[in-house]
Structure 1
Amino acid sequence: MLFDDLQQKKAKICVIGLGYVGLPIALEFAKQFAVIGFDINEKRVALMRQGIDPSKELSPEEFEGTDIHFTASLEEIRDAQFYVMAVPTPIDEHKIPDLKPLLSACTTVGKVLKKGDYVVFESTVYPGCTEEDCVPVLEKLSGLKFNQDFKVGYSPERINPGDKEHTLTKIVKVVSGSDAESAEQIAKVYSAIITAGVHQASSIKVAEAAKIIENTQRDVNIALMNELSIIFNKMSINTFEVLEAAGTKWNFLPFKPGLVGGHCIGVDPYYLTHKSSELGYHSKVILSGRTINDGMGALIAKSVVQHIIGMDKSLKQSRVLVLGATFKENVSDIRNSKVADVVQELKSFMVNIDVADPHADSEELEHEYGFGLVEAPTGTYDAIILAVNHREYERQDSAFFKKLLNKGGLLYDVKGIMRRRADGLAYQSL
């Protein structure tokens, strides 16, 4: 059986896509199995060969003691029998699922697929995508028959960038297969590395659906908090103080308002609503939540602009400092960062903006969103937007912000981390 061959290193695992999801999985597999790590980006491959994680999530020590070969060559992945697809599944500018990276990966694997091989998908997709969109590409390119010549599975990723507690092996892994045999073999492979255990879903579609509602549920709950923050701000009530009080009840869920970006929460719900629309049902709750969350960047920017106007300042001559540009705290990941929405909205009012972030890469931001970073704040500002609560900002006191603000200048604290330390400052939060 395949699992036995993998254990004895008579067969190899190949992980396709070595980003935030693929690299940790590849390295964990490589502690027990022979692994080929494949990525189309040769510069990233070169770094990984030196024990460097291009995403800056893993330390060099995590590369040690692993049986892995990194490559960007199609020919070098022909030896594998167990392929793991870990490529991104973004949305386009119209909020439509963009399957190009996933289908391109299927094309790559389809060219080398052999009888008896397995292909397991980790990328987040809508229910049905694996069997309806991916399998036909594998069949066409390989000339093989699904479930007769090769098997397929789905095991959704649960990687949380920046989280050093809920790491790969400590999170229960959902697994599934295209038939009973493949489900069993795939479960055995993942059980070898996941100490928290695996949950075997009854079908690939169930596993796909389970993944997509994990983040959809969080998105809808955060949308409720964001809507409450809009209401409470009109009442001059601090939302975080309300949530703190309500949180004393044992069954109150601890969600908070904020900018909802990243590669999961801000994207996955659109995969579900897209498939729903194809089936003739137009989502109400999910899309309403998405509308609220996607609008929070503009809301923050407009609140800042209103304050500056109230200071009798010219918007063209005003200066705003944005602290934080990544999609969440203490990571370098800028994918789908909603801080960009704040910056673009401020730019539409002709405001002068400096953006600082100790973790983000200025060139990546310039390429992705059209703005870079300043090395350090200079002079004084009419408003500071504390957009991402990096640890470097959390440890600051009110004196740090007072030095940077003009008289009457606003500290807009998105996550409310300074609400008890904002003495003497004009202060707002969500």
Structure 2
Amino acid sequence: MSVMSKDRICIIGLGYVGLPLGVAFAEKYDVVGFDIIQERIDELALNHDRTLEVEDELLESVKDNIHYTTDIEEIRECNIFIITVPTPIDKSSRPDLSPLIKSSETVSKVLKKDDLVIYESTVYPGVTEDVCVPVLEEGSGLRFNQDFFVGYSPERINPGDKHHTVKNILKVTSGSTPEIATKVDELYKTIITAGTHLASSIKVAEASKVIENTQRDVNIALINELALIFDQMGIDTNEVIEAAATKWNFIKLSPGLVGGHCIGVDPYYLTFKAEELGYKPNLILSSRQINNGMSKYIAEKTIKKMIMAGKTIKGSKVLIMGVTFKEDCPDMRNSKVLDIYKELKDFGADIDVYDPWPEENEARDYYLESVVEDPLASSQKYDAIIVAVGHSQFKEWTMEDYEKVSSGAPITIDVKNVIPQPTWRL
């Protein structure tokens, strides 16, 4: 079974992962983009992507080869379905597979003989074959690996990164049979210029993805714990890292908040499966605890610095600069800045948030206090300023700018190492 130009591809889920992938395939194939949110479909029909992952000009260039819809009947003629929906966690930090299951149910209603379903969502090993395949079988009445086939090729999208885009990130591929694995690999090779890596099984591919972000989470947790230790010692962590990085095999990372839809979520998928099998993944869970505690530490440090400066906390005015989960990106999902906000609110502070990246209405959905457009253009003065995200716009601020928006001597809290002379730096 080889890749053919007559293949018609359906992308299920048109978010940060699905849209760039669909646009890439639309340069060579006939593509249907399916999403359950009509507002998203309407926006893409006008060649605009609010996530800013795909430029309007690129959407315009492929508009004749990609059709966006919420109507399941319009995906019935596709023979390759690629599912790119989120895999979040619930309030107890357990995997929430409902988006994946519902998407599989949708595809099962239009699945035909010899169709191929490829999953890109991050999961623990076994989900594709043990959870998704039974849903496909039950809904379609077809038999796995006889009537239809599946593949797994984990997404590696890095939101906001204009250098590591879908085409130039090497892709891991896999399939439910050797023949299907080859087809999946050949399919992605038609659009991925960086090349592919064909894994020996779907479970190996699933595991490879979930440990990518788990490893990074653990590494950042080490740096965050070192930052907490060095803060107690009165040592600048960033200076320590710069010195240590002069050794060739030192992994240079910076302390900070760990949020978003990947690094702060994916480890829980692996720990869930490990604990289900009777193994306690202490290192991974401890790393999650450290990283989840950083927001509280930063908020408490802010309060201490304000008290030392003679500020009254209840009713004080605090500006938080940056509310997305990472720099130069409008994505606010699982942003740990919200936890700083909540902690400061609990202390009685009055908070403004400023972020030029997300749409204002989206920011208001997350933050009930005032969302300001430009503090430098306002007469409002602040008792403390927290730079929580390293947006490029914030790196242009000078000490004079911080003085301008401060009530008295500036109290500046630098989470991302962007303030020239902060009161306190993580």
Q: How far did 1:362 drift?
A: 3.1
For residues 49 and 397 of structure 2, the distance between their equivalents in structure 1, rounded to whole angstroms, comes to 30
Q: CA deviation at 1:382?
A: 1.4
2:407 is aligned to 406
TM-superposed CA distance for 1:370, in Å, is 4.4
Per-residue deviation, 1:372: 5.5
Deviations 1:301-347 (A, max 9, x none): 00011111222322113111100000000110001101001000000
Q: TM-score, normalised by structure 2?
A: 0.97
Unaligned segments of structure 1, at least 5 residues: none
- Within 1, Cα distance between the matches of 2:69 and 2:288? 38
- Residue 384 of structure 1 pairs with residue 385 of structure 2: yes
Aligned counterpart, 1:12: 8
Which amino acid is the alignment partner of residue 326 of structure 2? K
Partner of 2:188: 190
Aligned to 1:412, the other structure's residue is in SS state strand
- Correspondence for 1:226: 224
Aligned residue among 124, 127, 143 for 2:125: 127
**Equivalent position amino acid for 1:153 in 2:** G
1:47 aligns with 2:48: no
Give SS of 2:400's match.
helix
Amino acid at match of 2:382: Y
Query: Comparing 339-348 with 314-323, which one deviates more in the overlay?
Result: 314-323
CA distance in 2: counterparts of 1:92 and 1:363, whole angstroms: 25
The one of 278, 284, 301 equivalent to 1:280 is 278
**Contact 2:352 / 2:369 at 8 angstroms: preserved in 1?**
no
CA distance 1:287–1:164, change in 2 (3 Å):
same
How far residue 292 of structure 1 moved from its aligned partner, in angstroms, is: 0.4
Whether contact under 8 Å (2:402, 2:410) holds in the other structure is no
Of 251, 254, 268, which residue of structure 1 is paired with 2:252?
254
Quote how far apart the aligned CAs of 1:101 are.
0.8
Q: Which residue of 1 aligns with 2:73?
A: 75
Q: Counterparts of 1:302 and 1:99 in 2: how far apart (Å)?
A: 35
SS of residue matched to 1:244: helix
Residues 1:300 and 2:291 aligned together: no
**What is the letter of the counterpart of residue 54 of structure 1?**
R
Cα deviation code 1:9-28 (max 9, x no counterpart): 2x300000000000000000
- Number of residue equivalences: 421
Shift of 1:371: 4.8
Can you give the 5+ residue segments of structure 2 that lack an aligned partner in the other structure?
A: none
TM-score when normalising by structure 1: 0.96
Matches within 5 A, 1:80-91: 80-91=78-89
Contact 1:365 1:371 in 2 (8 A): no
Which of 238, 241, 252 is equivalent to 1:243? Answer: 241
Aligned to 2:358: 360
Structure 2 partner of 1:58: 54
Deviation at 1:411, TM superposition (A): 0.6
Amino acid of the residue matched to residue 232 of structure 2? Answer: K
- Pick from 18, 25, 41: which aligns with 2:21? 25
1:335-367, Cα deviation, whole Å (9 max, x unpaired): 110100100000010111111000122322333
| 8 A Cα contact 1:362 1:372, kept in partner | no
For 1:276 and 1:329, the matched residues in 2 are separated by 32
8 Å contact from structure 1 (residues 365, 372) kept in 2? no
* Aligned equivalent of 1:150: 148
**Aligned twin of 1:169:** 167
**Aligned Cα root-mean-square deviation (Å):** 1.2
Question: What whole-Å deviation, never above 9, does each CA across 1:372-415 have from its counterpart, x for those lacking one?
Answer: 52223342211100001111100111111111223344210001
Instruction: Say if 1:113 and 1:371 are closer, same or farther in 2 by CA, change over 3 A.
Output: farther
The SS at the match of 1:353 is: strand
Contact 1:215 1:268 in 2 (8 A): yes
**Contact 2:170–2:195 (CA<8 Å) still a contact in 1?**
yes
Aligned 8 A contact 2:351 2:369 in 1: no
Separation in structure 2 between the aligned mates of residue 346 and residue 262 of structure 1, nearest angstrom: 21
Q: Please show how residues 369-380 of structure 1 align to structure 2 within 5 Å.
A: 370-371=368-369, 373-377=371-375, 378=378, 379-380=380-381
Deviations 1:88-131 (A, max 9, x none): 11111111111111111001001110110000000001111111
Task: Give the 5 Å matches for 1:307-326.
Answer: 307-326=305-324
CA deviation vs aligned residue, 1:227-253 (integer Å, no higher than 9, x gap): 000000111111011101111111110
Aligned-partner residue type, residue 3 of structure 1 = V
Q: How far did residue 369 of structure 1 move? A: 5.3
What percent identity do the matched residue pairs reach? 53
Q: Distance in 2 between matches of 1:98 and 1:371?
A: 30
- Check 1:369–1:109 CA distance in 2 against 1; reply closer, same or farther (3 A cut): farther
Extract structure 1 runs of 4+ deviating beyond 6 A: none
Change (3 A) 1:371 1:26: farther
Secondary structure of the residue aligned to 1:390 is coil
Which residue of the partner structure matches residue 3 of structure 1?
3
Structure 1 Cα separation of the partners of residues 149 and 397 of structure 2 = 54
